[in-house]
Amino acid sequence: MTDVKPTRSELIKLKNKIKLAKSGYKLLKKKRDGLILEFYEILNKTKSVRKEMTEKYKEAIKKINVARIVDGDLAVRSVALSIKNKPVISVDTKNIMGVVVPSIQSDNVKKNVLERGYGIVNTSAAINEASTAYEQLLEYIILVAEIETSMVRLLNEIEKTKRRVNALEFEVIPKLEKVRKFIQLRLEELERETVFRSKRIKKKR
């Protein structure tokens, strides 16, 4: 190891590298912490929306069972097959702290009686109420799909950022600091040797 003769320029380059690594570490930590806050906000929202979706599901089941009793299974199936203007789902994207997550838009989910296409003369109020209940349920299903997909993507990004933060903190920066200390000590040693040799030369003269 003592045969290695590092230079001042190498030391300066290494110090700049350490400075850059520490700066990256701080930025990644801020990103990680911000992502975790966003994740927990969405998680709380998910719990609330999922609870509401479950209630809408229970309500829809009750309404469809009433419709089956009042109108019969055949009438319910006939109405279901005759519905027009089916919902249109489009998926776009939005950005949460650098993470691309889906933004799901929907059209023709909620309709009035005339827009459904099955006619109102031969259908009962029970079928209309069941239709409304399932339209409301579908809106919540779409919302939950958007939120939970966003959660998964945020969680993946958090894990990835945590690995990078840990790598910098426990591997990259300590190794660079170790090399810096070695170069610093070696340069000081070389300087002492240079001073010692120059003194010997002066004495000989």
Task: Tell me whether residue 12 is in a domain.
Answer: no
Tokens at 48, concatenated:
């609330």
Range of the domain at 90: 22-160
What total number of domains does the chain contain?
Answer: 1
127-162 per-position pLDDT tens digit: 999 999 999 999 999 999 999 999 999 999 999 999
Task: Tell me whether residue 175 is in a domain.
Answer: no
Q: Which long-range contacts (CB under 8 A, 24 or more apart) does 163-168 make?
A: 164/28, 165/25, 165/28, 165/29, 165/32, 168/21, 168/24, 168/25, 168/28
**Three-state secondary structure call for residue 2:** coil
Report H helices in the chain: 8-71, 73-82, 125-167, 173-204
What is residue 1's predicted lDDT score, i.e. its pLDDT? Answer: 43
What is residue 12's predicted lDDT score, i.e. its pLDDT? Answer: 94
Task: Tell me whether residue 34 is in a domain.
Answer: yes
Burial class of 9 by CB neighbour count within 10 A (0 to 12, 13 to 18, 19+): exposed
What is residue 205's predicted lDDT score, i.e. its pLDDT? Answer: 63
- pTM summary value: 0.78
What is residue 175's predicted lDDT score, i.e. its pLDDT? Answer: 97
16-47 per-position pLDDT tens digit: 999 999 999 999 999 999 999 999 999 999 99
Pairwise CA distance, residues 131 & 76, whole Å: 10
Q: What is the CATH number of the domain that holds 76?
A: 1.10.287.3240
What is residue 107's predicted lDDT score, i.e. its pLDDT? Answer: 81
Tokens at 114, concatenated:
């005339």
Task: Tell me whether residue 47 is in a domain.
Answer: yes
Task: Tell me whether residue 198 is in a domain.
Answer: no
Task: Tell me whether residue 88 is in a domain.
Answer: yes
**Apex 116 CA angle, 112 and 121, nearest 5:** 90
Mean pLDDT for all residues in the chain:
89
Task: Tell me whether residue 181 is in a domain.
Answer: no
80-102 per-position pLDDT tens digit: 888 777 788 889 999 998 899 99
Mean pLDDT of 187-198: 84
48-76 per-position pLDDT tens digit: 999 999 999 999 999 999 999 999 999 89
Task: Tell me whether residue 83 is in a domain.
Answer: yes
